[in-house]
Amino acid sequence: MPKLQILHFNDVYHLAPHKREPVGGAARFATVIKEFRESYGVESSCVFFSGDAFNPSVESSVSKGAHMVPALNAFGIDAACLGNHDFDFGVPTLKRLVAMSNFPWLLSNVVDSETDGPVAGKKFVILEKNGLKLGIVGLVEKDWLETIPNLPPNLKHKDYVSAGKELIAQLRDPNGPHAVDLIIALTHCRLPNDIILANQCKDDIDLILGGHDHFFYIGKGCDVINGWTREAKGNDGWTGKEDVGDDGARLVKSGADFRELSIVELDIDENTNEGRTLKRIKNITVTRQEVTSSIVEDEHLSGLIDSATTDIKEKMSKPMAYTIKPWDCRSSILRTQETAFGNFIADLLFYAYKPCIPHNIDSAILCSGTIRSEKSHLEIYLKYIRLKTQLLLFVLLDVSYGTCCKVPFQWFLNKKVGFRL
Protein backbone atom coordinates (compact mmCIF):
# COMPACT_ATOMS: atom_id res chain seq x y z
CA MET A 1 0.00 0.00 0.00
CA PRO A 2 1.68 3.32 -1.03
CA LYS A 3 2.00 6.06 1.55
CA LEU A 4 2.36 9.78 1.22
CA GLN A 5 3.76 12.09 3.89
CA ILE A 6 2.69 15.73 3.98
CA LEU A 7 3.92 18.63 6.08
CA HIS A 8 1.28 21.35 6.19
CA PHE A 9 1.34 24.88 7.60
CA ASN A 10 -0.60 28.12 7.11
CA ASP A 11 -0.78 31.82 8.03
CA VAL A 12 2.77 32.92 8.81
CA TYR A 13 3.55 36.54 9.64
CA HIS A 14 6.70 36.83 11.76
CA LEU A 15 10.10 35.41 10.86
CA ALA A 16 11.36 36.03 14.40
CA PRO A 17 10.31 33.73 17.26
CA HIS A 18 7.58 34.68 19.75
CA LYS A 19 8.29 35.20 23.44
CA ARG A 20 5.94 32.48 24.68
CA GLU A 21 5.99 28.77 23.83
CA PRO A 22 5.58 27.44 21.26
CA VAL A 23 8.02 30.15 20.22
CA GLY A 24 8.21 29.13 16.54
CA GLY A 25 10.28 31.33 14.23
CA ALA A 26 11.18 30.61 10.62
CA ALA A 27 14.69 29.33 11.42
CA ARG A 28 13.35 26.62 13.78
CA PHE A 29 10.61 25.85 11.29
CA ALA A 30 13.30 25.24 8.65
CA THR A 31 14.92 22.65 10.94
CA VAL A 32 11.61 20.79 11.25
CA ILE A 33 11.12 20.77 7.47
CA LYS A 34 14.70 19.60 6.90
CA GLU A 35 14.26 16.69 9.32
CA PHE A 36 10.91 15.83 7.69
CA ARG A 37 12.49 15.69 4.22
CA GLU A 38 15.45 13.66 5.54
CA SER A 39 13.04 11.12 7.05
CA TYR A 40 10.78 10.65 4.03
CA GLY A 41 12.68 11.95 1.01
CA VAL A 42 11.48 14.57 -1.46
CA GLU A 43 10.11 11.83 -3.76
CA SER A 44 7.63 10.52 -1.15
CA SER A 45 6.73 13.67 0.71
CA CYS A 46 5.11 17.06 0.14
CA VAL A 47 5.30 20.43 1.87
CA PHE A 48 2.13 22.50 1.43
CA PHE A 49 1.29 26.04 2.61
CA SER A 50 -2.25 27.46 2.79
CA GLY A 51 -1.74 31.18 2.46
CA ASP A 52 -1.15 34.53 4.23
CA ALA A 53 2.54 35.30 4.36
CA PHE A 54 3.23 38.73 2.85
CA ASN A 55 1.36 40.87 5.42
CA PRO A 56 0.71 42.06 8.11
CA SER A 57 3.87 42.68 10.09
CA VAL A 58 5.99 45.70 10.93
CA GLU A 59 8.60 44.42 8.45
CA SER A 60 6.09 44.07 5.63
CA SER A 61 5.15 47.74 5.92
CA VAL A 62 8.69 48.41 4.65
CA SER A 63 9.31 45.40 2.38
CA LYS A 64 5.76 44.99 0.99
CA GLY A 65 6.12 41.27 1.68
CA ALA A 66 9.44 40.70 -0.11
CA HIS A 67 11.31 39.84 3.11
CA MET A 68 9.24 36.64 3.45
CA VAL A 69 10.29 35.22 0.08
CA PRO A 70 13.84 33.98 0.98
CA ALA A 71 12.45 32.05 3.97
CA LEU A 72 9.58 30.49 2.02
CA ASN A 73 11.95 29.63 -0.84
CA ALA A 74 14.26 27.84 1.60
CA PHE A 75 11.47 25.51 2.75
CA GLY A 76 11.19 23.54 -0.52
CA ILE A 77 7.43 24.11 -0.69
CA ASP A 78 5.65 21.94 -3.30
CA ALA A 79 2.61 24.23 -3.63
CA ALA A 80 0.87 27.08 -1.80
CA CYS A 81 -2.57 28.70 -1.91
CA LEU A 82 -2.88 32.49 -1.91
CA GLY A 83 -4.55 34.08 1.11
CA ASN A 84 -6.27 37.44 1.68
CA HIS A 85 -3.23 39.16 3.20
CA ASP A 86 -1.16 38.19 0.18
CA PHE A 87 -3.27 40.73 -1.75
CA ASP A 88 -2.70 43.56 0.75
CA PHE A 89 -0.21 45.45 -1.43
CA GLY A 90 -2.22 45.08 -4.64
CA VAL A 91 -2.19 42.58 -7.49
CA PRO A 92 0.93 43.95 -9.30
CA THR A 93 3.01 43.59 -6.11
CA LEU A 94 1.57 40.14 -5.51
CA LYS A 95 2.50 39.07 -9.04
CA ARG A 96 6.07 40.25 -8.38
CA LEU A 97 6.23 38.23 -5.14
CA VAL A 98 4.79 35.18 -6.91
CA ALA A 99 7.47 35.53 -9.63
CA MET A 100 10.20 35.70 -6.94
CA SER A 101 8.94 32.45 -5.34
CA ASN A 102 10.54 29.13 -6.31
CA PHE A 103 7.27 27.21 -5.84
CA PRO A 104 3.79 27.50 -7.42
CA TRP A 105 1.16 29.71 -5.78
CA LEU A 106 -2.38 28.51 -6.55
CA LEU A 107 -5.69 30.29 -6.97
CA SER A 108 -8.23 28.21 -8.87
CA ASN A 109 -11.46 30.15 -8.43
CA VAL A 110 -10.51 33.84 -8.64
CA VAL A 111 -10.00 34.65 -12.28
CA ASP A 112 -9.60 37.46 -14.76
CA SER A 113 -13.12 37.80 -16.21
CA GLU A 114 -11.76 38.33 -19.74
CA THR A 115 -9.21 35.51 -19.97
CA ASP A 116 -10.62 33.13 -17.30
CA GLY A 117 -6.99 32.72 -16.20
CA PRO A 118 -6.08 33.09 -12.50
CA VAL A 119 -5.63 36.67 -11.32
CA ALA A 120 -2.28 35.64 -9.81
CA GLY A 121 -0.44 32.33 -9.56
CA LYS A 122 -1.73 29.15 -11.23
CA LYS A 123 -5.07 27.35 -11.28
CA PHE A 124 -3.57 23.97 -10.38
CA VAL A 125 -0.34 22.02 -10.30
CA ILE A 126 0.34 18.34 -10.93
CA LEU A 127 2.87 16.55 -8.70
CA GLU A 128 4.21 13.02 -8.98
CA LYS A 129 5.16 11.55 -5.62
CA ASN A 130 5.79 7.96 -4.64
CA GLY A 131 4.08 6.63 -7.78
CA LEU A 132 1.03 8.84 -7.21
CA LYS A 133 -0.16 11.54 -9.55
CA LEU A 134 -1.51 14.40 -7.43
CA GLY A 135 -3.71 17.26 -8.62
CA ILE A 136 -3.30 20.26 -6.31
CA VAL A 137 -5.87 23.08 -6.46
CA GLY A 138 -6.22 26.35 -4.50
CA LEU A 139 -9.76 27.34 -3.44
CA VAL A 140 -10.80 30.45 -1.53
CA GLU A 141 -14.07 31.77 -0.08
CA LYS A 142 -15.75 34.96 -1.31
CA ASP A 143 -16.04 36.46 2.20
CA TRP A 144 -12.52 37.80 2.54
CA LEU A 145 -12.20 38.72 -1.10
CA GLU A 146 -14.94 41.29 -0.63
CA THR A 147 -12.93 43.02 2.10
CA ILE A 148 -9.90 43.76 -0.11
CA PRO A 149 -10.26 47.38 -1.26
CA ASN A 150 -7.94 47.64 -4.26
CA LEU A 151 -8.68 44.63 -6.43
CA PRO A 152 -8.82 45.15 -10.20
CA PRO A 153 -12.37 45.48 -11.61
CA ASN A 154 -11.97 42.56 -14.02
CA LEU A 155 -11.55 40.09 -11.18
CA LYS A 156 -14.22 37.42 -10.83
CA HIS A 157 -14.82 35.08 -7.91
CA LYS A 158 -16.26 31.73 -8.95
CA ASP A 159 -18.12 29.73 -6.34
CA TYR A 160 -15.42 27.63 -4.70
CA VAL A 161 -17.53 24.46 -4.57
CA SER A 162 -18.84 24.44 -8.17
CA ALA A 163 -15.64 25.86 -9.73
CA GLY A 164 -13.64 23.36 -7.67
CA LYS A 165 -15.80 20.45 -8.85
CA GLU A 166 -15.50 21.53 -12.49
CA LEU A 167 -11.70 21.84 -12.38
CA ILE A 168 -11.30 18.63 -10.42
CA ALA A 169 -13.42 16.68 -12.94
CA GLN A 170 -11.02 17.82 -15.68
CA LEU A 171 -7.96 16.83 -13.64
CA ARG A 172 -9.43 13.43 -12.74
CA ASP A 173 -10.71 12.58 -16.24
CA PRO A 174 -9.05 9.20 -17.01
CA ASN A 175 -9.01 10.08 -20.71
CA GLY A 176 -7.88 13.66 -20.16
CA PRO A 177 -4.33 15.01 -20.24
CA HIS A 178 -3.84 14.83 -16.45
CA ALA A 179 -5.72 11.72 -15.17
CA VAL A 180 -4.63 12.33 -11.56
CA ASP A 181 -4.97 9.72 -8.82
CA LEU A 182 -5.72 12.06 -5.91
CA ILE A 183 -6.91 15.64 -5.44
CA ILE A 184 -5.59 17.78 -2.61
CA ALA A 185 -7.26 21.17 -2.13
CA LEU A 186 -5.26 23.91 -0.43
CA THR A 187 -7.81 26.41 0.86
CA HIS A 188 -7.94 29.81 2.49
CA CYS A 189 -11.39 29.88 4.13
CA ARG A 190 -12.98 30.10 7.56
CA LEU A 191 -13.70 26.70 9.11
CA PRO A 192 -17.47 26.66 8.29
CA ASN A 193 -16.68 27.20 4.60
CA ASP A 194 -14.01 24.49 4.63
CA ILE A 195 -16.60 22.16 6.18
CA ILE A 196 -19.11 23.02 3.40
CA LEU A 197 -16.42 22.23 0.82
CA ALA A 198 -15.54 18.95 2.55
CA ASN A 199 -19.19 17.87 2.88
CA GLN A 200 -20.13 18.78 -0.69
CA CYS A 201 -16.98 17.44 -2.39
CA LYS A 202 -16.61 14.07 -0.67
CA ASP A 203 -16.21 12.30 -3.99
CA ASP A 204 -14.14 15.05 -5.57
CA ILE A 205 -11.49 16.08 -3.04
CA ASP A 206 -9.38 13.54 -1.17
CA LEU A 207 -7.87 15.94 1.36
CA ILE A 208 -8.38 19.61 2.29
CA LEU A 209 -5.49 21.50 3.87
CA GLY A 210 -6.83 24.86 5.06
CA GLY A 211 -5.60 28.22 6.26
CA HIS A 212 -7.10 31.58 7.32
CA ASP A 213 -8.12 30.38 10.80
CA HIS A 214 -5.21 30.42 13.19
CA PHE A 215 -6.26 27.42 15.22
CA PHE A 216 -5.76 23.71 14.78
CA TYR A 217 -8.58 21.66 13.37
CA ILE A 218 -8.52 18.01 12.42
CA GLY A 219 -11.67 16.83 10.64
CA LYS A 220 -13.58 13.73 11.64
CA GLY A 221 -12.53 12.03 8.40
CA CYS A 222 -9.01 11.73 9.76
CA ASP A 223 -8.85 8.36 11.47
CA VAL A 224 -6.04 8.80 13.92
CA ILE A 225 -5.03 11.88 15.76
CA ASN A 226 -1.68 11.79 17.52
CA GLY A 227 -0.63 14.16 20.25
CA TRP A 228 -3.81 16.20 20.18
CA THR A 229 -7.44 15.65 21.03
CA ARG A 230 -10.40 17.51 19.61
CA GLU A 231 -11.09 19.01 23.04
CA ALA A 232 -7.62 20.50 23.49
CA LYS A 233 -7.44 24.25 23.63
CA GLY A 234 -5.75 25.91 20.70
CA ASN A 235 -3.48 28.92 21.00
CA ASP A 236 -6.23 31.37 20.16
CA GLY A 237 -8.88 29.93 22.45
CA TRP A 238 -10.49 27.45 20.05
CA THR A 239 -11.99 24.78 22.27
CA GLY A 240 -12.78 22.27 19.56
CA LYS A 241 -16.20 21.76 21.15
CA GLU A 242 -18.30 23.83 18.76
CA ASP A 243 -20.41 21.77 16.37
CA VAL A 244 -19.39 22.87 12.91
CA GLY A 245 -21.38 20.20 11.06
CA ASP A 246 -18.32 18.08 10.32
CA ASP A 247 -19.68 15.08 8.44
CA GLY A 248 -16.44 13.12 8.25
CA ALA A 249 -14.36 15.95 6.79
CA ARG A 250 -10.91 15.01 5.51
CA LEU A 251 -9.71 18.43 6.59
CA VAL A 252 -6.65 19.72 8.44
CA LYS A 253 -5.91 23.26 9.59
CA SER A 254 -2.53 23.75 11.20
CA GLY A 255 -2.34 26.68 13.65
CA ALA A 256 -0.30 29.72 12.63
CA ASP A 257 2.89 31.73 12.49
CA PHE A 258 5.63 29.06 12.28
CA ARG A 259 4.57 27.89 15.75
CA GLU A 260 2.63 24.82 14.68
CA LEU A 261 2.36 22.44 11.78
CA SER A 262 0.77 19.13 10.87
CA ILE A 263 2.39 15.97 9.64
CA VAL A 264 -0.27 14.17 7.62
CA GLU A 265 0.27 10.56 6.58
CA LEU A 266 -1.92 9.10 3.83
CA ASP A 267 -2.36 5.37 3.34
CA ILE A 268 -3.48 4.72 -0.21
CA ASP A 269 -5.60 1.79 -1.36
CA GLU A 270 -5.18 0.49 -4.91
CA ASN A 271 -7.95 -1.34 -6.79
CA THR A 272 -7.48 -2.55 -10.34
CA ASN A 273 -10.69 -2.69 -12.34
CA GLU A 274 -10.94 -3.28 -16.12
CA GLY A 275 -7.23 -2.60 -16.53
CA ARG A 276 -7.31 0.71 -14.63
CA THR A 277 -5.90 1.14 -11.15
CA LEU A 278 -8.00 3.34 -8.88
CA LYS A 279 -6.21 4.90 -5.95
CA ARG A 280 -8.12 6.14 -2.92
CA ILE A 281 -7.12 7.29 0.55
CA LYS A 282 -7.75 4.54 3.09
CA ASN A 283 -6.42 6.18 6.22
CA ILE A 284 -5.32 9.65 7.26
CA THR A 285 -3.11 10.06 10.30
CA VAL A 286 -2.48 13.58 11.53
CA THR A 287 0.23 14.53 14.01
CA ARG A 288 0.11 18.00 15.45
CA GLN A 289 3.56 19.42 16.05
CA GLU A 290 4.53 22.52 17.97
CA VAL A 291 7.72 24.42 17.18
CA THR A 292 9.18 24.95 20.65
CA SER A 293 12.46 26.47 21.82
CA SER A 294 13.93 22.95 22.15
CA ILE A 295 14.26 22.86 18.34
CA VAL A 296 17.61 24.17 17.11
CA GLU A 297 17.47 27.06 14.64
CA ASP A 298 18.71 26.35 11.12
CA GLU A 299 21.87 28.43 10.70
CA HIS A 300 21.52 28.89 6.97
CA LEU A 301 18.01 30.29 7.35
CA SER A 302 19.02 32.49 10.31
CA GLY A 303 21.61 34.05 7.98
CA LEU A 304 19.05 34.50 5.21
CA ILE A 305 16.60 36.15 7.61
CA ASP A 306 19.31 38.49 8.90
CA SER A 307 20.22 39.66 5.42
CA ALA A 308 16.54 39.98 4.39
CA THR A 309 15.67 42.11 7.42
CA THR A 310 18.85 44.16 8.08
CA ASP A 311 17.78 46.90 5.72
CA ILE A 312 14.29 46.96 7.27
CA LYS A 313 15.65 47.14 10.83
CA GLU A 314 17.97 49.95 9.81
CA LYS A 315 15.11 51.94 8.28
CA MET A 316 12.95 51.42 11.35
CA SER A 317 15.69 52.43 13.79
CA LYS A 318 15.94 55.93 12.33
CA PRO A 319 13.26 58.57 12.86
CA MET A 320 11.30 59.21 9.68
CA ALA A 321 10.16 62.63 10.93
CA TYR A 322 10.52 65.08 13.80
CA THR A 323 7.77 67.12 15.37
CA ILE A 324 8.25 70.77 16.34
CA LYS A 325 6.23 70.30 19.51
CA PRO A 326 5.83 66.95 21.32
CA TRP A 327 2.87 64.91 20.14
CA ASP A 328 0.86 63.88 23.18
CA CYS A 329 -0.22 60.29 22.63
CA ARG A 330 -1.60 59.51 26.08
CA SER A 331 -4.89 57.67 25.77
CA SER A 332 -6.56 60.10 28.21
CA ILE A 333 -5.90 62.88 25.68
CA LEU A 334 -6.27 60.95 22.43
CA ARG A 335 -9.61 59.46 23.38
CA THR A 336 -11.29 62.66 24.41
CA GLN A 337 -10.17 65.46 22.13
CA GLU A 338 -8.66 66.53 18.84
CA THR A 339 -4.90 65.94 18.81
CA ALA A 340 -2.07 66.54 16.38
CA PHE A 341 -1.21 62.84 16.21
CA GLY A 342 -4.86 61.80 15.73
CA ASN A 343 -5.18 64.32 12.89
CA PHE A 344 -1.94 63.09 11.35
CA ILE A 345 -3.13 59.46 11.32
CA ALA A 346 -6.59 60.43 9.99
CA ASP A 347 -4.89 62.35 7.17
CA LEU A 348 -2.62 59.36 6.48
CA LEU A 349 -5.67 57.09 6.27
CA PHE A 350 -7.33 59.49 3.86
CA TYR A 351 -4.36 59.69 1.51
CA ALA A 352 -3.49 55.98 1.80
CA TYR A 353 -6.97 54.71 1.03
CA LYS A 354 -8.19 57.34 -1.42
CA PRO A 355 -6.48 55.74 -4.46
CA CYS A 356 -7.72 52.28 -3.49
CA ILE A 357 -11.43 53.05 -3.18
CA PRO A 358 -13.40 53.35 -6.41
CA HIS A 359 -15.79 56.01 -5.03
CA ASN A 360 -14.75 59.58 -4.49
CA ILE A 361 -14.21 59.75 -0.74
CA ASP A 362 -14.41 62.98 1.24
CA SER A 363 -13.15 62.02 4.66
CA ALA A 364 -11.47 59.40 6.82
CA ILE A 365 -12.64 58.86 10.37
CA LEU A 366 -10.31 57.33 12.91
CA CYS A 367 -11.43 55.77 16.17
CA SER A 368 -8.69 57.34 18.29
CA GLY A 369 -8.79 54.47 20.78
CA THR A 370 -6.91 52.37 18.23
CA ILE A 371 -3.74 54.40 18.86
CA ARG A 372 -1.77 52.72 21.59
CA SER A 373 0.92 54.78 23.24
CA GLU A 374 1.23 56.43 26.63
CA LYS A 375 3.97 58.91 25.79
CA SER A 376 4.69 62.17 24.08
CA HIS A 377 6.75 61.84 20.92
CA LEU A 378 9.19 64.21 19.28
CA GLU A 379 10.54 61.62 16.85
CA ILE A 380 8.32 59.54 14.62
CA TYR A 381 9.44 56.03 13.70
CA LEU A 382 7.89 53.86 11.03
CA LYS A 383 7.28 51.06 13.53
CA TYR A 384 4.77 53.26 15.39
CA ILE A 385 2.53 53.57 12.38
CA ARG A 386 0.91 50.42 11.09
CA LEU A 387 -2.24 51.07 9.15
CA LYS A 388 -4.74 48.26 9.29
CA THR A 389 -8.00 48.14 7.43
CA GLN A 390 -10.05 48.20 10.59
CA LEU A 391 -8.76 51.66 11.40
CA LEU A 392 -11.26 52.82 8.81
CA LEU A 393 -14.11 51.56 10.94
CA PHE A 394 -15.35 54.12 13.39
CA VAL A 395 -16.76 52.06 16.22
CA LEU A 396 -19.84 53.98 17.29
CA LEU A 397 -20.13 52.17 20.60
CA ASP A 398 -16.60 53.12 21.58
CA VAL A 399 -16.50 56.31 23.64
CA SER A 400 -13.25 57.25 21.88
CA TYR A 401 -13.03 60.53 20.11
CA GLY A 402 -13.58 60.15 16.38
CA THR A 403 -10.69 61.95 14.73
CA CYS A 404 -11.86 63.09 11.36
CA CYS A 405 -9.99 64.58 8.45
CA LYS A 406 -11.42 67.08 5.97
CA VAL A 407 -14.60 67.64 8.03
CA PRO A 408 -14.49 70.20 10.85
CA PHE A 409 -16.67 69.34 13.84
CA GLN A 410 -16.79 69.74 17.59
CA TRP A 411 -17.48 67.01 20.12
CA PHE A 412 -18.94 67.60 23.62
CA LEU A 413 -18.70 64.36 25.55
CA ASN A 414 -20.41 65.85 28.64
CA LYS A 415 -23.58 67.01 26.89
CA LYS A 416 -26.66 64.80 26.68
CA VAL A 417 -27.26 62.44 23.76
CA GLY A 418 -28.40 64.33 20.70
CA PHE A 419 -26.37 67.45 21.55
CA ARG A 420 -22.83 66.06 21.54
CA LEU A 421 -21.83 66.76 17.94
For the bound state, the minimum distance from the C-beta of residue 193 to Zn ion, rounded and expressed in Å, comes to: 12
| CA-based nearest residue to 46, from 75, 105, 5 | 5
For the bound state, the minimum distance from the C-beta of residue 196 to Zn ion, rounded and expressed in Å, comes to: 17
Percentage helix, strand, coil for the chain under 3-state DSSP, each rounded to 5 = 30, 25, 45
Do residues 74 and 301 lie in contact, with contact meaning Cβ atoms separated by under 8 Å? yes
Q: Which is nearer to Zn ion, 15 or 334 (CB)?
A: 15
251-254/182-189 β-pairing: unpaired
Q: Which is nearer to Zn ion, 204 or 260 (CB)?
A: 260
Q: Which positions lie near Zn ion, rule CB under 5 A?
A: 52, 83-84, 212
45-49/132-140 β-pairing: unpaired
Q: Let me know how long the chain is.
A: 421
Q: Which is nearer to Zn ion, 194 or 338 (CB)?
A: 194
For the bound state, the minimum distance from the C-beta of residue 191 to Zn ion, rounded and expressed in Å, comes to: 12
Q: Which is nearer to Zn ion, 110 or 346 (CB)?
A: 110
DSSP 368-407: GGG----SEEEEE-GGG----GGGG---TTS-S-EEEES-
Residue in the shown chain whose Cβ atom is closest to Zn ion: 212
Alpha-carbon distance of 53 to 65, in angstroms, equals 7
For the bound state, the minimum distance from the C-beta of residue 16 to Zn ion, rounded and expressed in Å, comes to: 20
What are the beta bridge partners of residue 106?
A: 81, 122
For the bound state, the minimum distance from the C-beta of residue 212 to Zn ion, rounded and expressed in Å, comes to: 4
- Which amino acid is present at 394? F
Q: Which is nearer to Zn ion, 83 or 118 (CB)?
A: 83
User: In the β-sheet with 260-273, what is the strand arrangement from edge to edge?
Assistant: 105-106, 79-81, 45-49, 3-9, 260-273, 276-290, 224-226
Alpha-carbon distance of 67 to 61, in angstroms, equals 10
Q: Which is nearer to Zn ion, 80 or 295 (CB)?
A: 80
For the bound state, the minimum distance from the C-beta of residue 19 to Zn ion, rounded and expressed in Å, comes to: 23
